Amino acid sequence: MPVSRRFALKLLAVAFPSGLAAFNAPSALALGGPQPPLNEVAPTFTLPTNTGDGQISLADYRGQWVVVYFYPKDFTPGCTLEARRFQQDLPKYKARKTQILGISADDVDSHAEFCDSEGLKFPLLADVDGTVSKAYGAWLGYASLRHTYIVDPQGRLRAIFTGVNPVVHSKEVLARLDELQADS
């Protein structure tokens, strides 16, 4: 089936910034807008999800560590690889009393299909209008960028990852989480 020009341009628009991010640009220069300040309260949110009672708030996880990761699109190669790595390491996150939350502009139905297809056991949240992605500086007009944030049990933003490489990202997040938990 031939790929439409519009689809190809959208794919390029999502892939190009993610590719640039792979060169690990400093967070101050991150695509998607200004990053929220470290060591201050993380931007709060409540979004629809494919799991549980239909909505999840960051505040639901007060008292534990949270990894909030933004990604462009369900079922794309980089996003699938990143999700698989988080799933593969899920027992390690649970051992560290840490919840993983994935966020993209895809809707709840797409997230449900993606979780079923990939066997994901952590929630994916639907930020269809990009409001939360914008608050975190992870929005590119119609899709979330590949950025990750670690939030501590008090709700403070403790780490920001831009320039994410999906192949090794979960390991990087675990290493940083270990450092942060050792310091607290």
Catalytic residues: 79
**DSSP class of residue 5?**
H
H or E stretch covering 10: helix 5-21
Q: What would the two tokens of residue 84 be? A: 């698989």
What letters, b where the CB count within 10 A reaches 16 and e where it falls short, cover 144-160?
bbbbbbbbbbebebbbb
Q: In angstroms, how far is the first alpha carbon of the chain from the final one?
A: 54
Pairwise CA distance, residues 160 & 168, whole Å: 15
State the DSSP code for 6: H
